[in-house]
Every structure is written in C-alpha cells, then in structure tokens.
C-alpha cells in the first residue's frame, strides 16, 4: 500500500501560478471551477471531475478560472505509483468514476479503498506506445461530431482501413471500442455542462448527442456511478 495524504485546496479566482514543481508525486481531482494547466508535454483545460497525475519533479504552471477552483490532491511520499516527471490529464469515465468515489467517501476506510481503486484505474490508462495517425484522426472526428450520428464503418473505410482491423487496433491502443469512446466523449461534455450551467437535463442530452434525457441519465449513472442531478448537486 502506498503512503499518501489527502488534501483539499481552494484557489482564488484568476490566480496564476508560475512554473513550479513538487518533490512528491500526486493525483489531483478538480472538484469545482476550471483550471488551465501547461507543462512540457502540453496544455489542458480541466473541469470538475478531471484528474491529473504528476510525478515528482514535473514542472507545470496553472491559471485558475474566474470563479476560483477547488481540488482534492492525493500526495504520495516514499514509494509512488507514478514515474518521476509524469504528467497526464484523464477524463475517461473509468478514471472519473473512481475519482468521484474518493470525493464522496464518508469514512477513512472508504476513502482508502477508493484511492486504491483510483490508482489502479490511473495505472491502467498509461499508454507508452505512440498511436498511429489514423487513430488520432478518428478520435478527432468523434470529438468534433460527438453530438451527431457517427458511422464508424464509413469513417475507417474513408481512411483506407479494413473495419475489423481498425476495430481491434483501436481497442488495443485506447482500451475502448469506437462506440465506447464516443459514449465517453458524450459523458464528458454532459458532465461539464451539468456542472457549469443550469440548463435542463433534456437540453444537455440533446446538445451532447443522447437520444433523450433518459438515455443520458442511464449512460451517465452507469459510467460515473452518480445520476446527472446528483452530479450537479455535488458540483454546485
């Protein structure tokens, strides 16, 4: 079992943190507000539920949104599950669902169990091999057209690929099928909309590509372990 402490932090609206690094590894969960973070490997705009993994020594800088932000940070001391310098933002349902469980834990034993499950989920999402360009093309298309019907067969054929090969390779590299990736993108957009606006669940379902509010509620609860209304209350 890793030695860790769990800390909750609050950041003032508009705060800017210059480039810095920590001498410990950490997994941080955004629980309110918006954080824009930049590191050597890229930039990311995080919303409630987003999870970042940072190995000791990872240099980064942050800008806090206009409403401030709050985070829960799991700080590791001694043995760490993260390699030095690691940096990755994760927004997949498998990781976000485990992060929500840490957030909602009501006892030390529940929290420790939830942290262990989050570490396992984060570790499973580490991919060291470079992805083929055609996979990036498919994910970019899904990200752009998540609110529409996406025909995967036509998409991979347009890229000159055999559907069976593309399906196997996509799952091998990402750990999700193309349809599961599409559902994950839709859930992420719904999660952000629910926490950042007061629009109705039905309106958010329509704009994120779900058939109706019931479809959104079922998919959201199955993916994250909370209903859309519970998530909105949690992040309000």
3-state SS of the chain is CCCEEEEEEEECCCCEEEEECCCCEEEEEEEEEEEEEEECCEEEEECCCCEEEECCCCCEEEEEEEEEEEEEEEEECCCCCCCCCCEEEECCHHHHHHHHHHHHCCCHHHHHHHHHHHHHHHHHCCCCCCCCHHHHHHHHHHHHCCCCCCCHHHHHHHCCCCHHHHHHHHHHHHCCCHHHHHHHHHHHHHHHHHHHCCCCHHHHHHHHCCCCHHHHHHHHHHHHCCCHHHHHHHHC
Domain ends where: 91, 124, 157?
124
Rounded to the nearest 10 degrees, what angle do helices 163-174 and 178-196 cross at? Answer: 50
> Using CA atoms, how far apart are residues 78 and 101, in angstroms rounded to an integer?
24
Number of other residues whose CB lies within 10 A of the CB of residue 183: 20
Together in a domain, 75 and 154: no
Confirm if 62 and 35 have CB atoms less than 8 A apart. yes
Q: What is the pLDDT of residue 226?
A: 96
Start-to-end CA span in the chain (Å): 33
User: What string of pLDDT tens digits covers the 236 residues of the chain?
Assistant: 678 999 999 999 999 999 999 999 999 999 999 999 999 989 999 999 999 999 999 999 999 999 999 999 999 988 888 888 889 999 999 999 999 999 999 898 999 999 999 999 998 765 445 788 999 999 999 999 999 998 999 999 999 999 999 999 999 988 899 999 999 999 999 999 999 999 999 999 999 999 999 999 999 999 999 999 999 999 98
**Do 149 and 231 fall into the same domain?**
yes
Say what the pTM is. 0.90
Q: Are both 120 and 13 inside the same structural domain?
A: yes
Domain-terminating residue out of 124, 154, 187:
124
Residue 69 CA to residue 50 CA, distance in Å, equals 12
Chain centroid, CA 153 distance in Å: 27
When computed from its CA atoms, the radius of gyration of the chain, rounded to whole angstroms, is 18
Same domain, 143 and 201: yes
Containing domain of residue 63, as a range?
A: 4-124
How many other CB atoms are there within 10 angstroms of residue 207's CB atom?
15
* pLDDT for residue 129: 55
Same domain, 112 and 143: no
CA–CA dist 54, 221 (Å, integer): 28
Residues 19 and 53 occupy one common structural domain:
yes
Q: Indicate which CATH number applies to the domain containing 156.
A: 1.10.10.60
> What pLDDT shows up at residue 126?
55
What is the tally of structural domains in the chain? 2
pLDDT at 128: 45
The owner of tokens 């973070």 is 37
How many angstroms separate the CA atoms of 157 and 161, rounded?
Answer: 5
Classify the C-alpha dihedral 149-151-155-158 as positive or negative: negative
Query: What is the per-residue pLDDT for 125?
Result: 66
């Amino acid at each position: 079992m890793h030695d860790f402490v769990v800390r909750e932090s609050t950041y003032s609206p508009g705060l800017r943190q210059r480039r810095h690094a920590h001498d410990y590894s950490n997994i941080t969960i955004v629980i309110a507000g918006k954080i824009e973070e930049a590191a050597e490997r890229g930039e990311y705009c995080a919303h409630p539920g987003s999870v970042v993994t940072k190995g000791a020594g990872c240099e980064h800088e942050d800008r806090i949104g206009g409403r401030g932000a709050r985070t829960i940070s799991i700080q590791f001391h001694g043995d760490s599950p993260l390699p030095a310098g690691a940096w990755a933002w994760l927004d997949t349902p498998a990781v976000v669902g485990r992060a929500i469980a840490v957030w909602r834990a009501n006892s030390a034993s529940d929290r420790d169990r939830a942290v262990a499950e989050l570490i396992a989920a984060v570790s499973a999402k580490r991919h060291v091999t470079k992805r083929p360009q055609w996979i990036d093309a498919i994910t970019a298309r899904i990200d752009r057209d998540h609110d529409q019907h996406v025909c995967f067969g036509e998409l991979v054929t347009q890229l000159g690929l055999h559907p069976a090969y593309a399906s196997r390779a996509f799952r091998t590299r990402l750990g999700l099928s193309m349809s599961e990736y599409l559902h994950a993108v839709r859930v992420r957009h719904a999660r952000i909309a629910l926490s950042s606006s007061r629009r109705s669940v039905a309106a958010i379902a329509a704009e994120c590509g779900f058939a109706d509010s019931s479809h959104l509620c079922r998919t959201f609860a199955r993916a994250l372990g909370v209903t859309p209304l519970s998530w909105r209350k949690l992040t309000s």
